[in-house]
Structure 1
Amino acid sequence: MAIPDQRCLNAITGHSSALHREARDWLLRLTSGRATPADAQAFRHWCGQSAAHARAFAETRLLWDNLGTAARALSQREQIKTDELQRDPRRMSRRAFLGGAVAASAAFLLLRPPMRLWPGVGDMMADFRTATGEQRQVQVAPGVVVEMNTQTAINVKYAGGRPVGIELLTGEIQLQTLDGASEPFTVYASKGQVMALSGSQCNVRCLDSDVEVTGLNGTVRLEYQGRTESIGTAQRALYGQRGMAAPAPADIDTAMAWRRRVLVFDNQPLSSVVVEINRYRPGKIILTNDALGARKVHARFTLNQLADAATLIHDAFGAHVTTLPGGIVLLS
């Protein structure tokens, strides 16, 4: 996600220390869309210099954790004038930080970047990963092909010197195994296992520790918390924080749509649609109206259309669109 310019951050946060100015500079650089691996390495060095460095960045980061609240204030007032912020620069700061205490460390920031502003350390060190909007294909073992969707990171797991599975750290994949394999190929995701038998194909999605597995061909076996389920073609099962759900019918066309660079939404709330769209595009779309977020969506978007997603939502629902610097879009 990108963020507003330096002047906006100065006004909103109200901090003027050298460390906070450096923290704002880092946030701007890392979310500019032009950040490089060298920038990420330099940031890790800067953030790890002291607890004060980490705390300064955490306070700037926390502003964006509370951006939804701030966005509602922006939407209600239409526009916050610069002179108003200058008269009381702490006003937004108090509102954004109300009820919270800033406690963060460099390790936390690197492991769990806010709103995926940059890849976490785990993602950056993964054997294979994709950036926002990127898709790629990798052959992780003889006869095993993995298609990786946007914002996905995987590690290859070995036994006896040969690849026997992958760890899906985050994101979405489609796994295909060719006929003739003597043993299943295993996807480890969120403390569970997805075992693809010979000649099978499945879609595995792991976001926020919840896993959704869709059988596309053949048989796939799931193991989670001592429970085992088998799913076949056009079936899906979910497991995660609420345990494991029983297999249910699945729409293969919807599950495979992203491979065709298409997103399909069938009677889903707009709030869920926006979350999914944000995975594929730079910047961030933020809903500031709960009633609008509850509106149902039945639509099919190509990934090429997502840059104009806010306009499409405006045309479909009459939503008011406020565009901010850095790719931030408020919908009300």
Structure 2
Amino acid sequence: MPSEPAPPQAQVDQAIAWLVKLRFDTPSPETHRAFEQWLGEHPHNAQAWLRVSNLSDELAELPNALSRNTLEGSRRLQIRRRDHLKLLAVLAVGGSLGWAAREPLGLPALMADNRTATGERRRIQGSDGSLIQLNTASAIDLHYSADYRELTLLRGEVSLDSNASDDRPYRINTRIGALGTRDGQLLLRENDQGVLLAVRRGTVTLLPNTRAAKQLQAGEVLQVLASGAYSPAHWHGDPWGWTDGVLSVQQMPLGEFIAELARYRPGVLRCAPEVAGLRVSGTYQLGDTLRILQLLGRSLPVRIDLRTRYWVSVAAV
């Protein structure tokens, strides 16, 4: 299938200006409304926003002033951003300049050992025989030595099925602290509060940055906060579903479901407040997110408005 043509330079410049306003300023409701109006004015705007917004996760790894200057400077220099890799190269240089200011979690997601794009999932066989799976828009680093095995979660979500026949301890680094195991099967997902942790098999030791260690057993699911505090997590479904390529939920509010589905789709996916409380149950194949939206339109009193393939709204009928 031929690749989609690149958006015009003017739209890319406009998208970069919007990214600077939304990412580095304090946008007002009027700014958000103006952005949404611009996004829907032409399909080229949505295409340009998709390309530029994909950089926002990489920019999050840089100091704010540096990453803002990187974007604005590239616009002044008229870098050809239709060649996405050229701007990523600029970001890579910026990342090296901002090395000392990064969190000590290994290489940034841009330079990670393993990473996935939005909507992509990936299986990795570690050299120790462990099975690692990356969910959408995720990045990890791996390191093996004679004495230990180590995985660093840089962004997103990862599941680890440790090879229990390997006697070396397995250390997992996250932004809220570390975990240790030898035979564990566990899942880690970054979210706004910190990290969601689920254990399916074996024993896992949680070592928060500011709290005493806690040992977890199979079946436990915790929300671990940035402060190191933790509590049982309540999930409307199966947090492991994505490892089998599905989104499996029970009585999940539609607003939460749409937010979850949006992780697997590029562009904008919105849910109107008046239908956000409707409940969704079922198992949906993540390989076809448009099909999931169509099924919602048939099973719930909602309509699916597709302004473009990158801007979709779920509203009341």
Q: 1:207 aligns with which of 184, 187, 191?
A: 191
Change (3 A) 1:221 1:250: farther
Q: Is the 8 A contact 1:190 1:240 kept in 2?
A: no
Q: Label 1:317 to 1:57 Cα distance change in 2 as closer, same or farther (>3 A).
A: closer
- Check 1:242–1:298 CA distance in 2 against 1; reply closer, same or farther (3 A cut): farther
Deviation at 1:234, TM superposition (A): 1.4
- Counterpart CA distance in 2 for 1:207 and 1:259 is 18
1:1-332 equivalence runs, <5 A = 22=9, 24-26=11-13, 58-59=20-21, 69-70=32-33, 105=65, 107-108=67-68, 122-157=108-143, 164-197=149-182, 199-208=183-192, 210-224=194-208, 225-241=210-226, 243-246=228-231, 254-287=238-271, 289-332=272-315
Amino acid at match of 2:304: V
Label 1:158 to 1:181 Cα distance change in 2 as closer, same or farther (>3 A): closer
TM-score under structure 2 normalisation?
0.66
Residues 69, 56 of structure 1: CA spacing in aligned structure 2 closer, same or farther, 3 A cutoff?
A: closer
Separation in structure 2 between the aligned mates of residue 124 and residue 166 of structure 1, nearest angstrom: 16
Shift of 1:23: 6.4
For the residue of structure 2 that corresponds to 1:234, the secondary structure is coil
Is residue 23–residue 60 contact of structure 1 (8 Å, CA) maintained in 2?
A: no
SS of residue paired to 2:165? coil
Bigger relative contact order (CA 8 A; separation at least 6): 1
Q: How far, CA to CA, are the matches of 2:123 and 2:36 in structure 1?
A: 43
Counterpart of 1:128, as a letter, is: N
Change (3 A) 1:67 1:129: farther
Q: TM-score, normalised by structure 1?
A: 0.63
- Using the aligned pairs only, state the percent identity: 21
Contact 1:170 1:207 in 2 (8 A): no
Quickly say closer, same or farther: Cα 1:271–1:242, change in 2 above 3 A.
farther
Instruction: Mark the structure with the bigger radius of gyration.
Output: 1
When residues 61 and 24 of structure 1 are mapped into structure 2, their CA distance, relative to the original with a 3 A threshold, is farther
Letter in 2 for 1:188: N
Q: What letter is aligned with 2:161? A: Q
Cα distance in structure 1, aligned partners of 2:31 and 2:252: 21
Is contact 1:156–1:163 with CA below 8 Å preserved after alignment?
A: no
Q: Secondary structure at the match of 1:313?
A: helix
Q: How far did residue 298 of structure 1 move? A: 1.5
Does the 8 A contact of 1:172 with 1:203 survive in 2?
yes
> 1:105 & 1:305 partners in 2: Cα distance?
38
- 3-state DSSP class of the match of 2:302? coil
Amino acid at match of 2:189: R
Report the CA distance between 1:226 and its aligned residue.
2.2
The code of the aligned residue for 2:12 comes to D
CA distance in 2, matches of 1:255, 1:126: 24
Structure with greater helix share of residues = 1
Q: How far apart, CA to CA, are the structure 2 residues paired with 1:306 and 1:57?
A: 25
Asked whether the equivalents of residues 174 and 203 of structure 1 are also in contact (C-alpha less than 8 Å), the reply is yes
User: After superposition, what is the alpha-carbon deviation per residue over 1:174-228, rounded to whole angstroms, capped at 9, x for unaligned?
Assistant: 111222333421111113112122x221111123462111111111111112222
Q: Give a deviation string over 1:262-289, Cα, whole Å, max 9, x none.
A: 10112221111111111112332112x2
SS in 2 for 1:314: helix
Gaps (5+ residues) in structure 2? 1-5, 43-63, 72-83, 93-107
Q: Distance in 2 between matches of 1:244 and 1:206?
A: 15
- How many Å separate the matches in 1 of 2:248 and 2:70? 33
Post-superposition Cα deviations, 1:11-41, rounded to whole Å, max 9, x if no partner, equal: xxxxxxxxxx95632566xxxxxxxxxxxxx
